[in-house]
Chain A
Amino acid sequence: MSTNARDAGALAPPLDYLDQRTGLAKVLKEFSRKIFPDHWSFLLGEIALFSFIVLLLTGTFISLFFVPSMDEVTYSGPLATMQGVEMSKAFDSTLHLSFEVTGGLLMRQMHHWAALIFIGAIVVHMFRIFFTGAFRKPREINWIIGFTLLILGLAEGFSGYSLPDDVLSGNGLRITDGVVKSIPIIGSYLSYFIFGGEFPGQHIIPRLFTVHILLVPALILGLIGLHLFLVVLQKHTQFPGAGRTNKNVVGYPIFPVYAAKQAGMFFIIFGVLALMGATMTINPVWNYGPYDPSPISAGAQPDWYMLFLEGALRLTPGFLEVVIGGYTLSLNILIPAVVVPGLLFTSMALYPFIESWASGDKREHHVLDRPRNAPVRTALGYSLLSVFLVLVLAGTNDIIATHFSLSIEAITWTFRVLIFVLPVVTFTVAKRVALGLQRKDREMVLHGHETGKIVRFDTGEYIEVHQPLDEEERWLRVQHEPRRPIPLLPAQNERGVRRPGYRRDAIRSRVSRFFYADRVEPVTPAELAAAQAHGGHDEISASQHDAPELTATREGSSAG
């Protein structure tokens, strides 16, 4: 005890010094009392954040030994399979880091595993935001920032993946070169600009190095800061529940509860990544050998987050390449590698604006949606995931073929059909499931839990006794507001004059109907009262109802 007191005493003067000059104490006190709502899915973004910290730490170590140069050297290190092989300094220093620097291979492998998990966690986090509607006003800007972080994460991953200058990543660069060249008119100029001449040239590794360790990480770091600042500023969203409204935040203060949880989460993430880096081989560049444009190996794929592009390229038939007046237009590359991902990503980025345009909802939302209460949004999310899944699987078609003894042509054709059919099927099924769950909720609210108790009345009538929901259960199922399509005003006003903006309204109305035409209305207080009245002969359960109070709560919420 006495030691602790002395420590605090020793720490007090410098802290006081800081506080007098910065006013830090007030800010810290304020911040440590900030309330955060509690849910495990709110920690998904932290997996990404803490993986990024691991990336910074291991990346700094790696950069102390990596030589970003394409000058040729002859290998003379300990690896038998590379003795006397000509390679770039980049590849040579990667081997040196892996086999001669103490802990070097561990750092490299941790760095690579952390990269895969960083982007994976971003995707999982993003879909949590999407499915719960956390991107709605006022968080559209933060959605865009998060989306930009995903794109920057992909850029960071791709530029780092190419740095060791091995055959596999060189093949990836060659594909990138092909994609760039497929862009009409400016393609070949752009390729020469990127590679400083004809592929592969001498410049790409040093350039990617600057992008990988300076440009993109600085942007990511800055945007993460902004991302988190906005979370603090706008307050965290919360799941619906008793006592939670758009005007409050129900949870625990940062200090000590969340500070402890965060620290624990960080050490778990660090531990998992260290364990993976220590025991599981990743990107064994010594298997692939130094880059040389001529060889390519079977099973050549990019890291998982780029597999969808690989898959799109593998699915597209070659006849799309057309020659117009001696000029080759490589639609077979342009469409899968530029147009399709461009459309998918743009629609992802703009989704919050599309949805608010369709719903006409301009209010702030701090209470999250249960995914079932937004059937079309949920269905669109699953639909997008199914497209992504088909593309990823298509990118691994040769590995599926060898591991499941299938014909690669059959697999490719199956995916060519699925890429069009599966999103529609997924959309329909997910929407129907969501609507079904909403109906189930209605049923539960109006009639309560089934108890399995059968009662016979004097009249001879049999009924099953239903256990009414308790307050919290009921609130969860009735708290959301119905979303209805925007009504379309008539084309002419009462004097028969054409109304300006009618066309635009008509399109908007159609989009709105797509989103909200099929819906299940939440139970209204009147319906609930009616259901309870109808249960007149169901005295056992009716006696336990407390309808008036519930009505008051609901009205209170819609007023606020």
Chain B
Amino acid sequence: MKAIAARRHHRFAPVVLLALALLTTGVLYAAFTPGPAQAASAPTQDDLTAGNNLFRANCATCHGMNAQGRPGVAPSLIGVGAAAVDFQVSTGRMPLMNQGAQAPAKPVIFTEEQIRQMAAWVASLGPGPAVPAPEEVDPAKGDAAQGMELFRTNCAMCHGAVGQGGALTNGKYAPNLGKASPTTIYEAMVTGPQSMPVFNNATITPQEKRDIIAYLQAQKAGSPGGVTLGSIGPVSEGLWAWLLGIGALIGAAVWIGAKSS
């Protein structure tokens, strides 16, 4: 103890202390954080009840007490499967805040547990696509080159060449896929939310879905050419050519052409 006391005022003491504090916090955090949820086990009766209760409180106003839907307001949810619920709720699209051209992604208001329970209850109403298992959406198991070909044939006409999003009719849009998780992308393909068509396993096989996910994941590495300028193509390039290029060069011309005083 004497040795420590003697070095208390050493100039590296605060650094060492800080490093120790960070290490302790990190170890404790790692010890207490729950591990990633295991592949959804069969829902218990409690889950179904809890899911039903959540549904009545948050969704039934529009979709009806038995999820049968209301004409002109909200579609029936019988047979949409757990994947649809997980997609809509875990991206914040549901519950809808107000009627508009399209439900936008918003901050999520439910916990993963609650989403799982609601999904379980909706899935119990009729058979539909399930939430994919982690290996079904593992980008490492997909072929990005194959995914590029599939993406530009099936997806790029709405989502753009690298999934940067695009406009549809009457204020609807294909969202930017830059922040979408592999699970979300998979669920969107099997459930066809909003304007999107369904790409079932006959149209795009499970392996091909993984290829597409791998292609989209590869885009997150950024561009080898520098900043991406939003990846929206020649329009942003032209804008920057004018704002930055022509702007800077006219500035230079003014500077050089100025009379020396």
Question: What residues of chain A have their CB less than 8 Å away from a CB belonging to chain B?
Answer: 38-44, 46-47, 75, 80-85, 98-99, 105, 109, 112-113, 116-117, 120-121, 124, 167-168, 261, 264-265, 268-269, 272-273, 276, 278-284, 286-289, 294-305, 307, 395-399, 401-402, 405-410
Known: A120-B241, A304-B234. A281 touches B229 (CB 8 A): yes
A-B contact pairs, 22 of them (CB 8 A): A43-B257, A81-B218, A82-B148, A83-B143, A85-B149, A116-B245, A120-B242, A168-B234, A264-B256, A276-B244, A276-B245, A279-B227, A280-B227, A280-B244, A281-B225, A282-B229, A297-B157, A298-B157, A298-B159, A301-B233, A302-B234, A304-B241
Q: Bound state CA distance, A295 and B151, in angstroms?
A: 10
- Decide if A295 touches B166 in the complex (CB within 8 Å): no
Secondary structure at the B interface, as helix, strand, loop or mixed, is helix
**Minimum CB distance partner of B175 in chain A:** A402
Known: A81-B144, A297-B161. A121 touches B246 (CB 8 A): yes
- Decide if B238 touches A303 in the complex (CB within 8 Å): yes
Q: Which of B157, B158, B241, B256: most chain A CB closer than 10 A?
A: B241
With A98-B225, A281-B225, A302-B234 given, can you name 5 additional A-B contacts, CB distance below 8 Å? A43-B253, A44-B253, A269-B252, A276-B245, A282-B225
Question: Least Cβ distance of A53 to chain B in Å?
Answer: 14
Q: Is B33 an interface residue (CB 8 A)?
A: no
Contact for B234 among A39, A303, A402, CB less than 8 A:
A303
**Minimum CB distance partner of A114 in chain B:** B245
**Minimum CB distance partner of A400 in chain B:** B167
In the complex, the 7 A-B pairs of residues with the closest C-beta atoms, listed nearest first: A298-B166, A304-B238, A40-B257, A281-B225, A297-B156, A116-B241, A401-B167
Contact for B156 among A280, A296, A397, A401, CB less than 8 A:
A296
Question: Least Cβ distance of A401 to chain B in Å?
Answer: 4
Q: Is B240 an interface residue (CB 8 A)?
A: yes
Question: Least Cβ distance of B30 to chain A in Å?
Answer: 32
Contact for B228 among A98, A109, A281, A401, CB less than 8 A:
A281
Q: Which of A302, A397, A399: most chain B CB closer than 10 A?
A: A399
Contact for A278 among B162, B166, B226, B250, CB less than 8 A:
B226
Residue interface mask B229-261, A partner, CB < 8 A = 1: 101111101111110111011101111111100
- Decide if B160 touches A298 in the complex (CB within 8 Å): yes
- Decide if A83 touches B145 in the complex (CB within 8 Å): yes
Question: Least Cβ distance of A220 to chain B in Å?
Answer: 19
Q: Which of B143, B229, B239, B252: most chain A CB closer than 10 A?
A: B252
Q: Bound state CA distance, A296 and B241, in angstroms?
A: 25
Q: Contacts of B153 on A, CB cut-off 8 Å? A: 294-295
Contact for A297 among B160, B223, B238, CB less than 8 A:
B160
Q: Is B224 an interface residue (CB 8 A)?
A: yes
Known: A98-B224, A168-B161, A299-B160. A398 touches B249 (CB 8 A): no
Known: A43-B257, A287-B231. A298 touches B156 (CB 8 A): yes
Question: Least Cβ distance of A443 to chain B in Å?
Answer: 28
Question: What residues of chain B have their CB less than 8 Å away from a CB belonging to chain A?
Answer: 101, 143-145, 147-149, 152-153, 156-162, 164-171, 173-174, 215, 218-219, 223-229, 231-235, 237-242, 244-246, 248-250, 252-259
- Decide if A121 touches B159 in the complex (CB within 8 Å): no
Q: Bound state CA distance, A168 and B231, in angstroms?
A: 13
Q: Bound state CA distance, A299 and B157, in angstroms?
A: 8
Q: Contacts of A113 on B, CB cut-off 8 Å? A: 241, 245
Q: Bound state CA distance, A281 and B228, in angstroms?
A: 5
- Decide if A281 touches B232 in the complex (CB within 8 Å): no
Question: Least Cβ distance of B155 to chain A in Å?
Answer: 9
Q: Contacts of B246 on A, CB cut-off 8 Å? A: 47, 117, 120-121, 124
- Decide if A299 touches B232 in the complex (CB within 8 Å): yes
Question: Least Cβ distance of A358 to chain B in Å?
Answer: 31
- Decide if A284 touches B223 in the complex (CB within 8 Å): yes
Known: A42-B257, A281-B229, A297-B152. A402 touches B241 (CB 8 A): no
**Minimum CB distance partner of B224 in chain A:** A105
- Decide if B166 touches A299 in the complex (CB within 8 Å): yes
- Decide if A85 touches B159 in the complex (CB within 8 Å): no
- Decide if B226 touches A279 in the complex (CB within 8 Å): yes
- Decide if B225 touches A280 in the complex (CB within 8 Å): yes
Q: Bound state CA distance, A402 and B169, in angstroms?
A: 11
Q: Contacts of A85 on B, CB cut-off 8 Å? A: 145, 148-149
**Minimum CB distance partner of B100 in chain A:** A405
Contact for B161 among A99, A281, A282, A287, CB less than 8 A:
A287
- Decide if B165 touches A402 in the complex (CB within 8 Å): yes
Contact for A283 among B143, B145, B171, B234, CB less than 8 A:
B234
- Decide if B171 touches A407 in the complex (CB within 8 Å): yes
Q: Bound state CA distance, A120 and B237, in angstroms?
A: 12
- Decide if A284 touches B160 in the complex (CB within 8 Å): no
Q: Contacts of A124 on B, CB cut-off 8 Å? A: 246, 250
Q: Bound state CA distance, A264 and B260, in angstroms?
A: 15
**Minimum CB distance partner of A264 in chain B:** B256
Known: A297-B157, A399-B232, A401-B173. A105 touches B225 (CB 8 A): yes
Known: A81-B218, A307-B238. A268 touches B160 (CB 8 A): no
Q: Bound state CA distance, A298 and B156, in angstroms?
A: 6
- Decide if A399 touches B235 in the complex (CB within 8 Å): yes
Known: A287-B231, A298-B157, A399-B232. A47 touches B249 (CB 8 A): yes
Known: A80-B145, A300-B233, A399-B235. A409 touches B257 (CB 8 A): no
- Decide if A43 touches B144 in the complex (CB within 8 Å): no
Question: Least Cβ distance of A415 to chain B in Å?
Answer: 14
Question: Least Cβ distance of A189 to chain B in Å?
Answer: 31
Q: Contacts of A304 on B, CB cut-off 8 Å? A: 234-235, 237-239, 241-242
Question: Least Cβ distance of A271 to chain B in Å?
Answer: 9
Q: Bound state CA distance, A111 and B152, in angstroms?
A: 27
Q: Contacts of A276 on B, CB cut-off 8 Å? A: 240-241, 244-245
Q: Bound state CA distance, A406 and B159, in angstroms?
A: 17
Known: A261-B256, A289-B148. A303 touches B224 (CB 8 A): no
Contact for A299 among B143, B149, B164, CB less than 8 A:
B164
Contact for B249 among A112, A269, A410, CB less than 8 A:
A269
Q: Bound state CA distance, A124 and B256, in angstroms?
A: 17
- Decide if A299 touches B235 in the complex (CB within 8 Å): yes
Known: A105-B224, A297-B157. A303 touches B152 (CB 8 A): no
Known: A85-B148, A299-B160. A44 touches B234 (CB 8 A): no
Q: Contacts of A46 on B, CB cut-off 8 Å? A: 253
- Decide if A299 touches B144 in the complex (CB within 8 Å): no
Q: Bound state CA distance, A104 and B152, in angstroms?
A: 26
Q: Contacts of A82 on B, CB cut-off 8 Å? A: 145, 148
Question: Least Cβ distance of A392 to chain B in Å?
Answer: 8
- Decide if B234 touches A280 in the complex (CB within 8 Å): no
Known: A40-B254, A80-B145, A279-B226. A303 touches B249 (CB 8 A): no
